Amino acid sequence: GDEDLYHYYKEEILFLGISSFESFPLRSPNPYSAKYESSYYLNMFPGFLHMMHQPSEHFPPNVKTLLMSQSDFNLEEPYFFGRQQQAQKEEILYDFVYSGGDQDVETDCVGWASYNKNFSFVREALEVMCSDEFNVTGVLVANKNKANTKACTIPSSCDGKIVQTTFLDQRQFFTYLSQARWAFLPQICDASPRVSTQALSMNKPLLMNRNIMGGWKYLLPGVTGEEFNDIHDFRAQLRKILDNTRGKNNPYEPIEFVRENYGNPVAGVRLLEYVKSHWGHRVDLPDGTKFLVPTGA
């Protein structure tokens, strides 16, 4: 199998680990996910691109770690899409967009995908958002089945305020994002939330769960958005981002932050330097290589 091939080639080819699925290489808290032995994966590769706050608490000292995710890369498309929409003076129709992945609609959004995107919390948050106090408008993406006949149940107070969509292609999703003031990321069990950097690249701030496994590094309060811990401080943080984005003087600088710190020209150089500094003797890169980009899902 794949594992046998890995062991066969691991001296000839440099393999690196990357966290891009749930809490991998740590065990997933998702009750719908398989339980694997994390200590095996933590020590499997000579290097690991991770999303942890304290990698040294988990990885053995021989593994060279780098704080890096797939969501650090490939940001040109949302950036140029956002620029184009801005030039066309795209009308703002919603306060927020929430990307639900591909929700478990048939079981009323209880299941693997809904757990990963923390949909049980979203329902709780919608009670607050749709109240007369806030009157939030928003889009719940991938909240209906593909046949467009059934949607996840949400509070009745959200009628006329919240749009629920089927699973969207990238361009349709970007269109909704361009029509919103900010992106809502309430999830915890997410290693590399692309929506975060895509939104920042379109100059949209984030309202993010501070307990998110990956993507926390994109949130600088007051600069790229606001963060909340749970439902207890959610109301105050929601008020903050609404007041800041509904008025004329929006203080956030998401696009400046993301262009300075992420995207292929920045993250790709960082990855190249990391590989060269630790395994320059092992890796033969083509002349003129300026940066490296991880490919895959």
The string of pLDDT tens digits covering residues 220-254 is: 999 999 999 999 999 999 999 999 999 989 999 99
pLDDT number for residue 37:
75
The single-letter code of the amino acid at 127 is E
Q: How confident is residue 113, by pLDDT bands cut at 50, 70 and 90? A: confident
pLDDT number for residue 24:
85
Average pLDDT over residues 255-281: 97
The C-alpha atoms of residue 171 and residue 86 are separated, in whole angstroms, by 15
The single-letter code of the amino acid at 188 is I
- Domains contained in the chain, CATH given: 2-68+263-279 (no CATH), 72-258 (3.40.50.2000)
Q: What are phi and psi of 97, to 5 degrees?
A: -130, 135
Hey, what are 102's tokens?
């591909």
Is residue 101 predicted with pLDDT exceeding 80? no
Average pLDDT over residues 68-88: 95
pLDDT number for residue 144:
92
Mean pLDDT of the residues in the chain: 94
Q: Considering the chain, what percentage of its residues have pLDDT values greater than 90? A: 81
Q: How confident is residue 102, by pLDDT bands cut at 50, 70 and 90? A: confident
pLDDT number for residue 112:
85
**Enclosing H/E stretch for 182:** strand 180-185
Compute the CA torsion angle 140, 145, 146, 147 (nearest 10 deg).
-120
Is residue 295 predicted with pLDDT exceeding 90? no
The C-alpha atoms of residue 44 and residue 185 are separated, in whole angstroms, by 31
Question: With contact defined as beta carbons under 8 Å apart, do 139 and 180 qualify?
Answer: yes
Is residue 297 predicted with pLDDT exceeding 70? no
pLDDT number for residue 151:
94
The C-alpha atoms of residue 114 and residue 30 are separated, in whole angstroms, by 10
Is residue 82 predicted with pLDDT exceeding 50? yes
Average pLDDT over residues 12-24: 90
Question: Which range in 58-62, 187-191, 246-250 is most confidently predicted, on average pLDDT?
Answer: 58-62
Q: Which residues pair with 180 in a beta bridge?
A: 94
Q: How confident is residue 296, by pLDDT bands cut at 50, 70 and 90? A: low
C-alpha separations of 67 from 54, 64, 181, 209, 222 in Å: 10, 10, 29, 19, 23
Average pLDDT over residues 124-133: 98
